[in-house]
Chain A
Amino acid sequence: MTKEACEKSVRRSMGILPMSRRAILALPGVAFHGRDAFDTWLALVVLGLLGACVTWGAQDDKVAQLAKEVGAKGWIVYAARDDSGTWDLFLMRPDGSQRRDITNTPDFEEGGPRFSPDGKKLLYRRFARGVVIDHDKWGFQGNLMIAENDGSKPVQIGGDREYPWASWSPDGRQIACLALKGIQIVDLETKKVVREFPRKGIYQQLFWSPDGKWFCGVANTRMMWTIVRMNAESGELNVVHEFQSCTPDWFADSARIVYPSRPAGQSGNNGQGFTQLWYSDGDGKDAKMIYGEDGYHIYGGALSPDSRYVLFTRCPQDGGGSERSGAPICIMRMADAPAIGGASPELRKVHPEAKDSPVVQLVEGWEPCWTYTEIGAQK
């Protein structure tokens, strides 16, 4: 295969791009002297490209296989810019097919969608048109909305900034909110606070575990940006992961928590480092990296309903992209973790066991959420 043919193949398959390719394309400049040296260099380049194409082809196959594997496994909801430039909610199959705008509201911005545990309803926040969705404050911006899983019958719950950081209870009949006063459990039918208890330093991204026994969130403990787990009954708090960690979410077993984390000691990004996707046991033990890539911040970590696959976004800028247009949504098998994308030489030194795992890269979006519940045709 020639270099041109190889690159053509690359362009053709940009829709689902194996993560390792980008680094291979970014060949460093090479100095050479004399005709023989040039011929040798050329031969090496051709051989290298041939090898790379074989590798890419194999990786393409693996990515296509993963896309096929997940394609019929329910739906992903996410926020993305529509044609008018406002944020809407979209549904797509996990292979990126059957994408459709389910809010289509040119007068509003929408974001932060979460399927109810049974997959029948959607909870999200709606903001006035033109509001910049702050990746760090969106949970108390705008209005809480609840709709059917296809976006139909949207109902506004409360007024502006009410029900902050709302998340579903396991049975979908209540929501847990993170307010200044504390954690409030609100009955959705009566809209009454049925229980309230101290938030103990948790300040954003509160999520109720599928078994109802725990909450996870981001807290100030010894330091800020600490992932914590709170016993839903006693209010007792334990640290899951300290230092530069955020947006936690639960595995289906309620025993493990996925979260983006930016470990110290990275030289990239002017010494600030890049955010990687990690998971730990709820008691804070056994922290492991799922996916990392130097040059990209990995946010939006969320599991498939059976925890076999993981969703994340891959953004060159910090913050996940809610202030701009989001970032490419990616899917990977949990069985393929830990994985590293791109060249990432620094990260590979820290995680020599990490693989070049197949990653399906989909459209740009923000805060994706996955359900295996079937959603009917567009209404």
Chain B
Amino acid sequence: MRIASSLIFLSALLVASCAKKPDTGEDPKVTTLGSIEVTAQLVEIRGALINDPLYDYAHVMKYKLLQIHRGEVNKETMYIGHYDPAKPRDKVADARVREIGGNVRQFRVGDIHRMALEVPIDDYYMGGIINKYFGEVNEPAYWAIWTNRVVK
């Protein structure tokens, strides 16, 4: 009985130690780059993320705005373009896009991101854009410069 209790206690301790610590996603990059900084929840990724070593695209994703840290955002739904989203953010900078990064390793619907942004995307990025919201949404897409994961 004593052994069983000890095992249960140890298991609970292990689970507690593995649980992710809260993280606001704040770091010196996300708080200084770009003119807009928000925390938002990724609600939809339309279309498959392309992982082709020959080509690099920006993929526009749909977010629900949770908090504005810097700059001005007027709508609760934001459309944000991420460069080469099949790659981890710390591996995505290249000859085309030099200033980009963050700690997000994978884009998953439901995740919360703290992002440094610019708008419109065309003023900050010159390359192929996969925008499955074209013709449906009139507002300009944002350009994600720095993307960190937020853990509540």
Contact = CB atoms under 8 A, between A and B. Distances in A.
B131 A220 contact: yes
Interface string A123-140: 000000000001111001
Contacts of B95: 134, 137, 140-141
A180 B124 contact: yes
A203 B124 contact: no
B96 A140 contact: yes
Contact of B96 (A137, A220, A225): A137
B63 interface: no
Query: For B55, B56, B94, B95, which residue has the most chain A Cβ atoms within 10 angstroms?
Result: B95
Interface residues on A, range: 20 to 34
Main secondary structure of the interface of B (DSSP, over half): loop
Contacts of A222: 134-135
Contacts of A178: 126
B127 A203 contact: yes
Contacts, number: 40
Interface string B115-126: 000000011111
Contacts of B130: 224
A319 interface: yes
B57 interface: yes
Given A137-B96, A140-B96, A180 B123 contact: yes
B128 interface: yes
A201 interface: yes
A72 to B, nearest CB: 38
Given A140-B95, A140-B96, A222-B134, A203 B54 contact: no
Nearest to A164: B126
Contacts of A180: 123-126
Contact of B122 (A137, A201, A224): A201
User: Which 3 residue pairs of A and B lie closest in terms of their CB atoms, listed nearest first?
Assistant: A224-B128, A220-B129, A203-B126
Interface of A: 134-137, 140-141, 178-181, 199, 201, 203-204, 220, 222-225, 318-319
Interface of B: 54-57, 94-96, 122-131, 134-135
